[in-house]
Each structure stands twice: as structure tokens, then as C-alpha cells.
Structure 1
Amino acid sequence: MASLLLLVYLLPPPPSGKKGAVKISIREAVDRVVKFHKSCRSLQEHSGPDQRRQPYILAVGTARNSIHQYYIAMDNGFLPCKARSSLSAFELFKAHYVFGVSYDQALNGMFTFVQTTIYNIDIGLKDLRAKLLN
């Protein structure tokens, strides 16, 4: 998980100034990528009408350094991740790509880096795919 969070720190949210852009801290950006959940509590606490549309990782465990299961939380549902490590971050990227969900504006730099550097997916190709589906 540290490798994923390092990407958020190295590729911080863009400064505000564009239309609709809101400046957030790196801590808030980390919270948009992964949320930690104690395994003794119900998962339904993370679903509800106030949740955002973009998927995020829900890490379930007894403590932040003892994670047992990862989920991709999206649209009030939870998709279990096969990976039990920071590889779940790549499943999060895949969820954005497969479901055609746009990246969170604050995390656009990080996801674009994963898209272009790790998966060699051209930025224009995803835009073209989104236009064809809409």
C-alpha cells in the first residue's frame, strides 16, 4: 500500500485555478484513494447516498498495518480484490477503465501516470473510448 500512497505524494493534486477545481491537501487525496475500515464493523457504513461516484479502495483489517482484505467500493457496492497487497491499486485503475468512470480530478495525475507508464495506454485512446460510449 505504501507504493500506492507514495504515488499520491509524488504526483500531488493540481493547484486550484481552473473552472470548478478545488484545492485539496495530499491527506485528502490519500483519503480519496484508500479508506481504512476496522474488520469488526459493518461494511455498510461506507455505502450510502453521500458516497462519491469514483471508485476507491476499501482496506479492511484489524489495524492500518494489518489489512486482511481489499475491496473496490463503487456505486454503493463492493468488489472483492484478489490481490491482498498494493496490487489492489492496479485493480482500482482497471475499475476506472472497465466501467468508463472518469478519474477524480484531484487524482488525475496519478491515474494518468499509471495509465501511460505502466499499462502503455495512450491518453487519447481512453478519451476516444469515452466519446464512443457516450
Structure 2
Amino acid sequence: MNDGHRVDWMVNGLAGDALHKTGKGTLVVAGSGENPGTLNTGDGTVILAQKADAAGRVRAFSEVRIVSGRPVVVLQDSHQIEGDRIRWGYRGGTLDINGNDMTFHRLAAADEGAVLTSRAGSATVRLDFSPSGQKA
């Protein structure tokens, strides 16, 4: 997708299927409900803005992979994806939690290219690395 262009994506993927985002443009993910597909992004901006379905369920992707150091993934709200379902690959990229609080039980980053920021203001990031079933 070219720089300066925007695509509004309102289609959920299938389990085992991946949407690949390339190019400097902006992809706005605005489907509804839980999307069982994954996102691989290597450039540009992706805004996760999935809406709740009739049962109140919402999840933009089952997993997001951020690679190359160029992409920015922005969370519209804290329900878009769980922190543990985000992975930074080679050279990483930026996850902008956009003022939303998040919890991570692991940080899955291949190298120092992973960036976690909140450009919309303060947010709380909770890192809970305690073994399962134990209190931190």
C-alpha cells in the first residue's frame, strides 16, 4: 500500500491464515468480533480498531508480528489484542498502546528493534513474569 493511502479492512481472517501488510500506507482493521487470523506487518501503520460483535467479543487478530523496524501498530483500545500475542521479529518495529493499559507475561522480541510506546499519553504496562499459578 502506497504512502499517503489508507485502506479500511473490515474482513476477519481464518484460523491459520495471515494478512501481510507491506508499504508505507495505513491499514485500519475495523471488522467485528474475534478474528482468528494473524497479522504480519513490515512497513507503514496498522491501526487495530476491531469492533465488538453482538456477544461483546473483540480481538483484532489472534497474533500480530511486527518486523523490519519500520512498521507502527496502534491499538485503538485495550481489547484489540492481548500483550502475549504480540511478537517482534527481526529488527522489530513500534507497538503504540495509545494510552491503553496492557499486561505482558512475556516479551517476544528477536532483538533490540522492539519498541513499546504510548504516544497518546500515559498508560500502565504491567510485566508479570511469575510462573503460572504463583503470585508475583
Q: Is TM-score (shorter-chain normalized) higher than 0.5?
A: no
TM (norm. structure 1) is 0.29
Larger strand proportion of the pair: 2
| Larger relative contact order (CA 8 Å, sep ≥ 6) | 1
Q: Structure 2 length normalisation: TM-score?
A: 0.29
